């Protein structure tokens, strides 16, 4: 049966009329699908029982469910979401005193094989549909209110998978999350993180997206970056500079460079110099992130002192830089640690 959430609003109007329903029923159905958080046709209480039964007999309504959750000592909560075909993806709620950020996934597994990332050791099973991307935010918004008593304020696509390899579903999901007749969240509070696919970064610019863009850089030297991020072999740093400048020209949005500081890998003076040179070629700011260990790699994080020295060098060279503290490390919920350990 066809997924009811694959229909546009106009297609729902045509569908309702074909089923002998008045046009306004399509608007009610749309509200249940995208605004009111319905999880089944039975939830749609202002539709008649007969109409709901007809919908249930002719259309599928697959939804995501929470399979498990785990709470960190710092208040971060990791969730395992069960998809309708049995696969799992993970998402995270990260609270501060005045806001809550949801970290969501875009694929089941990943195909990029970044050597410092737990998801990179998983097989890519499939892309998430746009309704599954929407569901993560819808569920985590409810969980934020329940767990913290604070509205969900920010969304980062920094979970499992590479968003730009699931381009149309990701953009359609974000459209439903930000639309006035969806969850009505501000696109300026959404950040998409990519490992760096130059042609798709340019496409983001051509499509005039209004959300923020982050590049997982982790080294500004092609040879070193290629060792930890094989995607560099097909998307060189020069390619990325060209794409990021194109994106900025089209959108006016400054990119954030994410840089996990790994001991004796990318924390030396040479790497700092390379990063400064890279930053001078684009409009950007830098987030330095302490590396979070995973079972399948032998990397360790640089010391706080080395990270601070690295940041000081960037600041001295007029690079905007922030040091980000990892959250949820004790439950494998921090950056680079998502690996479907919750079952």
Domain boundaries along the sequence of the chain = 2-60, 65-331
Mean pLDDT of 318-324: 96
User: Residues 11, 31, 90, 273: which is the catalytic one?
Assistant: 90
Q: Distances in Å between the alpha carbon of 245 and those of 173, 254, 262, 266, 322?
A: 26, 9, 27, 24, 22
Q: At what angle do helices 130-148 and 167-178 cross, to 10 degrees?
A: 40
Q: pTM of the entire structure?
A: 0.94
The CATH number of 2-60, from 3.40.50.300, 2.40.50.100, 3.30.420.40, 1.10.150.530, is 1.10.150.530
Q: What is the CA radius of gyration of the chain?
A: 21
Q: In this predicted model, what pLDDT tens digit does every residue of 230-241 receive, in sequence order?
A: 999 999 999 999
Q: First CA to last CA across the chain, in angstroms?
A: 28
Residue carrying structure tokens 């749609």 = 44
333 has a pLDDT exceeding 60: no
Q: Are 235 and 273 in contact (CB under 8 A)?
A: no
Structure tokens at 332: 């494998």
Question: What pLDDT, on the 0 to 100 scale, is given for residue 17?
Answer: 96
143 is catalytic: no
Q: What percent of the chain has pLDDT over 90?
A: 87
Catalytic one among 16, 110, 284, 335?
335
The pLDDT tens digits of the residues spanning 185-209 come to 999 999 999 999 999 999 999 999 9
Fold of 65-331: TIM Barrel (3.20.20)
Tens of pLDDT, residues 21-43: 999 999 999 999 999 989 999 99
Dihedral over Cα of 194, 200, 201, 207: its sign: negative
Asked about 335 being catalytic, the answer comes back as: yes
């Amino acid at each position: 049966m066809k997924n009811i959430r694959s229909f546009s609003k106009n297609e729902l109007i045509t569908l309702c009329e074909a089923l002998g329903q008045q046009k306004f029923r399509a608007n009610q159905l749309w509200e249940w699908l995208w605004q009111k958080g319905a999880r089944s046709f039975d939830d749609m209480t202002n539709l008649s029982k007969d109409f709901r039964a007809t919908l249930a007999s002719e259309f599928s309504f697959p939804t995501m469910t929470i399979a498990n959750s785990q709470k960190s000592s710092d208040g971060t909560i990791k969730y395992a979401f069960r998809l309708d075909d049995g696969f799992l993806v993970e998402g995270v709620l990260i609270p501060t005193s005045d806001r809550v950020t949801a970290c969501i996934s875009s694929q089941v597994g990943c195909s990029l094989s970044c050597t410092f990332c737990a998801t990179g050791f998983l097989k890519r099973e499939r892309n998430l549909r746009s309704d599954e991307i929407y569901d993560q935010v819808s569920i985590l918004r409810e969980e934020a209110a329940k767990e913290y008593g604070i509205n969900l304020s920010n969304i980062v696509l920094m979970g499992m998978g590479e968003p730009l390899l699931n381009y149309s579903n990701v953009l359609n999901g974000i459209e439903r999350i930000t639309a006035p007749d969806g969850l009505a969240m501000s696109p300026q509070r959404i950040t998409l993180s990519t490992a760096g696919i130059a042609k798709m970064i340019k496409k983001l610019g051509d499509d005039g997206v209004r959300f923020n863009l982050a590049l997982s850089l982790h080294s500004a030297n092609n040879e070193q970056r290629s060792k930890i991020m094989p995607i560099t072999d097909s998307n060189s740093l020069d390619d990325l500079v060209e794409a990021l400048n194109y994106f900025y020209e089209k959108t006016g949005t400054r990119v954030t460079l994410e840089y996990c500081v790994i001991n004796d890998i990318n924390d030396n003076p040479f790497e700092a110099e390379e990063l400064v040179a890279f930053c001078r070629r684009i409009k950007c700011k830098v987030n330095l992130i302490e590396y979070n260990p995973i079972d399948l790699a032998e990397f360790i994080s640089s010391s706080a002192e080395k990270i601070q020295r690295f940041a000081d060098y960037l600041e001295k060279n007029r690079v905007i830089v922030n040091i980000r503290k990892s959250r949820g490390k004790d439950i494998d919920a921090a950056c680079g640690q998502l690996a479907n350990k919750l079952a």
